[in-house]
Structure 1
Amino acid sequence: MSSPVYPIFTDRLVIRPITEHEAAFIVELLNDPGFLQYIGDKQVRDLQQAREYIRTGPMQSLLDNGFALHLVSLQLKDGREGQPIGVCGLLQRDFLPSPDLGFAFLERYTGQGYGYEAAMAVLNEELQSKPIDCVMAITAKDNSASQSLLKKLNFKFERKASFADIGGETLVYSLLNPTNY
């Protein structure tokens, strides 16, 4: 197995590890109405809190697990990275036995296929570079858009659950024996 190669370029996106330089975007994303409704309030309100969130979240996950949430940006016509629109990647949650596909996009960029495009690229890259036999995903029971995306990605509904870290009823999905995307 090889190491994942980032950045990933798709037809419309650039996907790469998040750095502290994205603190302003992280403040915006984590306080977006859709994020607050479906994922929850991470209590990140300023640049200092965002930098800490990035250091202890995505950057630490990359060091500990070899995978993390990554920044998803629009790709400019000349191939350069443009406006950040969301995050997508794998996480390792304490309460799940397998890596978890996570994604979040600013509301103004939802419904345009960016989530599917980013998730396909991330899954393809990560599954080619790591011996992962199951990828999980969780979503709020009222988040029909995320549920539809997971089904389109061939994730299967597994069960309803309640996790102390999240609160409320959560839907758990899994992708067993994933093949290349």
Structure 2
Amino acid sequence: MSSTALPPVPGPTQRLVFRHPHDEHAAFFLSLLNDPLFVRFTGDRGIRDLAGARGYIAKLAAHRQRWGYGLDVIVLRATDEPIGACGFVRRAELDAPDIGFGFLAAHHRQGYGFEAAAATMHHGRTTLALDLILGITQPDNTASIRLLEKLGLRLTESRTLPGLARPQFVYSTDPTRLSPNR
């Protein structure tokens, strides 16, 4: 992959558009990464100002350049307002890409998470040719569990991942391909 060519993002849905994260999204990421529910279920990234948010965006860009996929900014088609992030993350401790998603609290319970994640899964299977996709969540994050199951992922194991104090549920598009004895 060329150092200047960005891999494609999922196509737009009825209500949403996917964008590569750029510095112009720093204020959005600052809000998202400090949203109380995001911090509770995903962890505190320690981003406290716009400079930190721009550094986070640079890390997202490096991840995308290395793996050919990453988190995308989810924008409302009607207003061009960024409302969340969704995409694939490659973690050293997992055997396959992990679908990640997070939305600002004002946009919860409106179907945006499923709409974005379903388009991302389709993009992963078709454009990126991913044959195995994982999802991780805390056992008490019932909204994420429901979303992962609605996407067709199934609970494979509970595991404590590096950097996380609590065990996480690991979901998979093919539970037979992961060892439950990690």
TM-score by length of 1: 0.89
Measure the CA separation in 1 of the matches of 2:161 and 2:42. 13
Residue 5 of structure 1 corresponds to: 8
The answer to whether 1:42 aligns with 2:45 is yes
The structure with higher relative contact order (CA 8 Å, sep 6+) is 1
CA contact (8 A) 2:134 2:170 kept: yes
Residue 68 of structure 1 corresponds to: 70
Measure the CA separation in 1 of the matches of 2:152 and 2:54. 34
Q: What 5-or-longer segments of structure 2 have no aligned partner?
A: 1-5, 176-182
% identical aligned pairs: 37
Residue 178 of structure 2 corresponds to: none
- CA drift of 1:7 comes to 6.0
1:9-158 matches, within 5 Å, as: 9-56=12-59, 58-76=60-78, 82-158=80-156
Post-superposition Cα deviations, 1:123-164, rounded to whole Å, max 9, x if no partner, equal: 111211223221001001110000000000010000111112
Post-superposition Cα deviations, 1:39-98, rounded to whole Å, max 9, x if no partner, equal: 010000101000001101x2111100000000001111xxxx611100000000111010
- CA drift of 1:16 comes to 1.5
Residue 163 of structure 1 corresponds to: 161
Measure the CA separation in 1 of the matches of 2:131 and 2:164. 25
CA contact (8 A) 2:10 2:123 kept: no
After the TM superposition, which of the residue ranges 119-128 and 134-143 deviates more from structure 2? 119-128
Which letter maps to 1:120?
A
CA contact (8 A) 2:64 2:70 kept: yes
- Coordinate RMSD, CA, aligned: 1.6
Measure the CA separation in 2 of the matches of 1:6 and 1:101. 14
Measure the CA separation in 1 of the matches of 2:131 and 2:13. 25
CA contact (8 A) 1:88 1:103 kept: yes
Measure the CA separation in 1 of the matches of 2:170 and 2:43. 17
Secondary structure of the structure 1 residue equivalent to 2:102 = strand
Measure the CA separation in 2 of the matches of 1:130 and 1:53. 24
Q: What 5-or-longer segments of structure 1 have no aligned partner?
A: none
- Structure with greater strand share of residues: 1
Measure the CA separation in 2 of the matches of 1:40 and 1:17. 22
- CA drift of 1:118 comes to 0.2
Secondary structure of the structure 1 residue equivalent to 2:173 = strand
Measure the CA separation in 2 of the matches of 1:125 and 1:156. 19
Measure the CA separation in 1 of the matches of 2:35 and 2:58. 21
Which letter maps to 2:68?
G
Which one of 158, 174, 177 corresponds to residue 176 of structure 1? 174
Measure the CA separation in 1 of the matches of 2:128 and 2:11. 16
